[in-house]
A and B are shown apart, each in its own frame.
Chain A
Amino acid sequence: MYNLQLSPEQLEIRDTVRDFVTRDVKPHALRPQRLEARTRPLLIDVLDKASQLGLRTLALSEDAGGAGADTLTSSIVTEELALGDPDVAAVLARTSMLAHLLFDRLMTLEQRARFLPPFVADDRYQLALADLEPDWDAVLGIRYHRPEMSEAGVKTTAVRAGDVWVINGVKDRVANAPLAKLFAVEVSGASGVSTLLVPSDAPGLSVSESDPSSHFYHGACGTLTFRDCRVPLENLIGAEGESPLDGNATRDLPQHQALNLGIGRAAYEAALDYAQLRVQGGRRIVEHQAIGTKLAEVAVRLEVARAAIWQAAWACDHPEAIADRSLPDLPLTRIAKVFASEAIYHATKDAAECFGAMGVMRDMPLQKHVHDALVSLHSGTSNSDTKLHIAEALAGYRRPASAAVLAAE
């Protein structure tokens, strides 16, 4: 049954995170140096406290030491965190999602025994997935409604040498890279693409932090360089040649747009407060039709975006809702992404306009909210490309396996 009535636990988690953001995040997030879009330092202390609150391990199962949160709950938490600080929200959402995927679903008992205890015990233990490479063309674009024309993108290699894998290559645009203590790395080998677990201190691995002007992202990002990097043979996830992690699936999740929703709400709440304080034209500006309808439009965009995001999150948690035709069999997360990212960017611009010239000043938060929404608009799969993916799904297009894959088979 499709039902978005929040459970008492979900409401309680939301209130807890909301209090945490008000008390511990906002006072830091709005300091002048954090308002500089290009050079803002990550709030490490806030990440520590959030971890102590259980937000780093939110989606990890309760057996494993987490809170076992589903996609909808994770989305609610991410929205609240991003209201305070989108970078903090991005780092935690990434680790929490990967923790569930790796520890609960993919690792063997032996791997869990090695990696889970230190992960749970260490507030600064973040996780990352390294799948993209520098010249990897992940765009659908020209391949719309056509079979793959380019070779698969994994050029990083791993070869067996005795009891270790030897990895060589470069991974790019790796979310959480500068903070992660464990990476899931896609590598190419004799039998196709596999995924290996690589600790950040593995010999031969170097990690460099990305410059925010290199691409659009929230949180922390980086590049991994492997030079004869060695990890034990037992670090293979799943079977050789069967990469169990779909990078695309982890890049476009309802949580990412929930994060964006938090940005939109931060701008909206600031504008609503200001509109009730600022007096021009003989009355509070909220009492002017021009500002009132602008705030109404912002609220409409945010609420409809939330409905789309929650619907997508619900569908992730309840595949049966699609099976029993409660929800349409469509790429709901992609649909939510296109709508929400455009709606929220417009919403932040409208909210900033309510502030007059203060809306563009770097020592004021509004320009940061606009910038953050622009980053969301352009991070992950582009909206142009997402629409092409949706269009293929609408037409029921199934892409034939590429020549390279056929040859390998």
Chain B
Amino acid sequence: MDFTLSNEQRSWQMTARKFAEEEIRPISVERDEISDPRETFDWEIIKKGSRLGFRTMAVPKEWGGHGTDFVTQALVMAELAKADSAISKTFSQCWKWSHLIAATCTDEQKRRFLQPFLEDDTYLLGKGISEPSAGSDNRLPPPDDPKAGLKLRAERHGDDWILNGEKCFIANASVGKLFFIDARTDPNAPLKQGTTMFLVPRDTPGFRIGKVFNKSGWRFYQNGEMIFENARVPHANVVGPVNGSDMKTQQAGDRTGGDLFGDLELAANALGVCDDACGMALRLARTKKQGGRLLFEQQVVQLKLNRMHLLTEALRSFVMRVAWEHDHKMHSANPGLCMNFSTDVIQEVSERNLELHADAGVMNARADKLVRDAIIWSHLAGDSVQRMKTTRRLAK
């Protein structure tokens, strides 16, 4: 076993750390506090990060990207998340789908979409799956209800497909330039046999963004509704086979980077938040006094700090192992388990940090923010559907 980072990995980590501390951290709490969810976003930080490679680092070298490995990606996500979880996620959301473009799109599609993505610092990506009446049903389709799942309809008209329907809770919806959209192309088939994936540019006629959701945490990270009213998408934008959007499964191996990357992504992001919470708590304990003595001298404080750090270090070990396994094309339930575990860890660690501050009579907006950011994991990474889905991988 060798935990040493290569020079290249360390270099990315150091660049990310510097950028996170100097550029992201100073704007983190102020962005979080903006009440209009459309106004929390900041293009300047995206452009700055993009120029350092943080938007495009997952694109393979042969297509003009940086071709970083998963270990590097995990390190960078954690470093960026240590300064702001939501800003880190905005960058890594682009990696998730640039993995997908690189792995599944035709060369012609890559020329059309990967080139502009690489050249434009404001080109963000997203993917639309969830709908108002289809959340868990897309992730864990019920065998006894073949009609369950997404309803957005796509019908072929000559060289075009006409899309009608609605998506909700779509990340980067209000800021993205290109989206992967899952649509039902055979309404009579079960979800996985009747769904096709489309590349839908932001300026597609008949496609618009509805409301931007006002979340309690991850406020920088845009999340919105998508509305399709006779949206016209050329057949050339179909990704993979018609009625075959099911490419982000384990059987597809690392062909897409989709789910496998997504699991690592949430766990690595959580690790960064935990590092921040541990740092805050330790700093508080070593500077704040009660009854004339440093908090650190109290046993109850030491025990809480111990719990926070042991959970965080256990998560770090798991995250780096999963990243390494990705790089070695080793597939198991580990990414899912790691993501589920990260939910428990980020919530307990951020809550204990807030508790230490509150107990000391210190109100800290950042400690409060970390708890609100961490609750997002309940609905993405650690809900019972995600846990059962992981368990089913174990049984395969």
Listed in ascending order, the chain A residues whose CB lies under 8 Å from chain B are 36-37, 39, 137, 139, 141-143, 149-150, 213-216, 279-283, 285, 290-291, 294, 349, 352-353, 356-357, 359-363, 367, 370-371, 374, 377-378, 382-385, 387-388
Decide if A280 touches B375 in the complex (CB within 8 Å): no
- How near does chain B come to A109, taking the closest CB pair, in angstroms? 40
Beta-carbon nearest neighbor of B387 in chain A:
A290
Decide if B136 touches A215 in the complex (CB within 8 Å): no
Q: With a CB–CB cut-off of 8 A, which chain B residues contact A371? A: 216
Q: With a CB–CB cut-off of 8 A, which chain A residues contact B52? A: none
Task: Using A280-B135, A382-B358 as known contacts, list a sample of 4 further A-B pairs with CB atoms less than 8 Å apart, ordered by residue number in A.
Answer: A142-B292, A281-B140, A360-B379, A361-B216
Decide if B291 touches A141 in the complex (CB within 8 Å): yes
Across the interface, A362 reaches (CB within 8 A) one of B216, B347, B365, namely B216
Q: Tell me, in angstroms, the Cα distance from A285 to B379 when the chains sit together.
A: 15
Q: Tell me, in angstroms, the Cα distance from A281 to B145 when the chains sit together.
A: 7
B293-301, B305-313, B318-326 - interface stretch: B293-301
Cβ-based interface call for B158 (8 A): no
Decide if A370 touches B358 in the complex (CB within 8 Å): no
> Taking chain B's interface residues, is the majority helix, strand, or loop, or is none over half, making it mixed?
mixed
Cβ-based interface call for B371 (8 A): yes
Q: Tell me, in angstroms, the Cα distance from A279 to B149 when the chains sit together.
A: 11
Q: With a CB–CB cut-off of 8 A, which chain A residues contact B135? A: 280, 356-357
Q: With a CB–CB cut-off of 8 A, which chain A residues contact B148? A: 280-282
Residue interface mask B97-136, A partner, CB < 8 A = 1? 0000000000000000000000000000000001001111
Decide if A357 touches B214 in the complex (CB within 8 Å): no
Decide if A282 touches B145 in the complex (CB within 8 Å): yes
Q: Tell me, in angstroms, the Cα distance from A156 to B34 when the chains sit together.
A: 38
Chain B, 58-73, CB within 8 A of any chain A CB: none
Decide if B291 touches A137 in the complex (CB within 8 Å): yes
Residue interface mask B379-393, A partner, CB < 8 A = 1? 100011100100000
Decide if A142 touches B293 in the complex (CB within 8 Å): yes
> Taking chain A's interface residues, is the majority helix, strand, or loop, or is none over half, making it mixed?
helix
Q: A213-B365, A382-B358 are in contact. Are A374 and B214 (CB under 8 A)?
A: no
Give me 5 A-to-B residue pairs in the complex whose CB atoms sit less than 8 angstroms apart, sorted by A's number.
A139-B291, A139-B361, A216-B358, A359-B379, A360-B379
Decide if A360 touches B136 in the complex (CB within 8 Å): no
Q: Tell me, in angstroms, the Cα distance from A352 to B377 when the chains sit together.
A: 12
Across the interface, B383 reaches (CB within 8 A) one of A149, A213, A353, A370, namely A353
Q: Tell me, in angstroms, the Cα distance from A105 to B77 when the chains sit together.
A: 61
Beta-carbon nearest neighbor of A293 in chain B:
B384
Decide if A282 touches B213 in the complex (CB within 8 Å): no
Decide if B378 touches A349 in the complex (CB within 8 Å): yes
Across the interface, B384 reaches (CB within 8 A) one of A150, A291, A352, namely A291
Beta-carbon nearest neighbor of A142 in chain B:
B291
Beta-carbon nearest neighbor of B290 in chain A:
A141
Q: With a CB–CB cut-off of 8 A, which chain A residues contact B297? A: 142
Beta-carbon nearest neighbor of B145 in chain A:
A282
Decide if A215 touches B379 in the complex (CB within 8 Å): no
Across the interface, A388 reaches (CB within 8 A) one of B130, B145, B300, B384, namely B300
Which interface residue of A353, A357, A377 has the most chain B CB atoms within 10 A?
A357
Decide if A356 touches B354 in the complex (CB within 8 Å): no
Q: A281-B136, A282-B145 are in contact. Are A384 and B300 (CB under 8 A)?
A: yes
Q: A137-B290, A352-B378 are in contact. Are A280 and B130 (CB under 8 A)?
A: no
Q: 9 closest Cβ contacts across the A-B interface?
A: A282-B145, A290-B384, A378-B358, A282-B142, A142-B291, A281-B142, A367-B216, A382-B359, A362-B214
Q: With a CB–CB cut-off of 8 A, which chain A residues contact B137? A: 280-281
Decide if A139 touches B378 in the complex (CB within 8 Å): no
Chain B, 346-365, CB within 8 A of any chain A CB: 347, 354-355, 358-359, 361, 363, 365
Q: Tell me, in angstroms, the Cα distance from A139 to B148 when the chains sit together.
A: 55
Q: Tell me, in angstroms, the Cα distance from A236 to B281 when the chains sit together.
A: 44
Cβ-based interface call for B215 (8 A): yes
Cβ-based interface call for B169 (8 A): yes
Cβ-based interface call for B165 (8 A): no
Q: With a CB–CB cut-off of 8 A, which chain A residues contact B35? A: 36, 39
Q: Tell me, in angstroms, the Cα distance from A349 to B216 when the chains sit together.
A: 13
Which interface residue of B35, B168, B378 has the most chain A CB atoms within 10 A?
B378
Beta-carbon nearest neighbor of A214 in chain B:
B363
- How near does chain A come to B345, taking the closest CB pair, in angstroms? 15
Decide if B363 touches A215 in the complex (CB within 8 Å): yes
Q: A357-B169, A363-B214, A378-B358 are in contact. Are A141 and B379 (CB under 8 A)?
A: no
Decide if B375 touches A370 in the complex (CB within 8 Å): yes
Q: Tell me, in angstroms, the Cα distance from A377 to B358 when the chains sit together.
A: 10
Q: With a CB–CB cut-off of 8 A, which chain B residues contact A141? A: 290-291, 298
Q: Tell me, in angstroms, the Cα distance from A139 to B360 when the chains sit together.
A: 8
Which interface residue of B359, B365, B376 has the most chain A CB atoms within 10 A?
B359
- How near does chain B come to A339, taking the closest CB pair, in angstroms? 16
Q: Tell me, in angstroms, the Cα distance from A383 to B291 when the chains sit together.
A: 18
Beta-carbon nearest neighbor of A285 in chain B:
B136
Across the interface, B213 reaches (CB within 8 A) one of A36, A279, A294, A361, namely A361
Beta-carbon nearest neighbor of A356 in chain B:
B135
- How near does chain B come to A49, taking the closest CB pair, in angstroms? 30
Across the interface, A142 reaches (CB within 8 A) one of B298, B355, B375, namely B298
Residue interface mask B212-225, A partner, CB < 8 A = 1? 01111100000000
Q: With a CB–CB cut-off of 8 A, which chain B residues contact A356? A: 135-136, 379, 383
Across the interface, A282 reaches (CB within 8 A) one of B144, B354, B376, B384, namely B144
Q: With a CB–CB cut-off of 8 A, which chain A residues contact B145? A: 281-283
Decide if A349 touches B375 in the complex (CB within 8 Å): yes
Q: With a CB–CB cut-off of 8 A, which chain B residues contact A279? A: 133
Q: Tell me, in angstroms, the Cα distance from A283 to B143 when the chains sit together.
A: 12
- How near does chain B come to A331, taking the closest CB pair, in angstroms? 18
Which interface residue of A149, A291, A349, A374 has the most chain B CB atoms within 10 A?
A374
Decide if B376 touches A360 in the complex (CB within 8 Å): yes
Decide if B292 touches A360 in the complex (CB within 8 Å): no
Decide if B379 touches A374 in the complex (CB within 8 Å): no
Q: With a CB–CB cut-off of 8 A, which chain A residues contact B383? A: 353, 356
Which interface residue of A285, A382, A388 has the most chain B CB atoms within 10 A?
A382
Q: With a CB–CB cut-off of 8 A, which chain A residues contact B378? A: 349, 352-353, 359-360
Decide if A142 touches B213 in the complex (CB within 8 Å): no
Q: With a CB–CB cut-off of 8 A, which chain A residues contact B130? A: 357
Q: A281-B137, A356-B135, A370-B375 are in contact. Are A290 and B388 (CB under 8 A)?
A: yes
Q: With a CB–CB cut-off of 8 A, which chain A residues contact B379? A: 353, 356-357, 359-360
Decide if B359 touches A139 in the complex (CB within 8 Å): yes
Which interface residue of B169, B354, B365, B375 has the most chain A CB atoms within 10 A?
B375
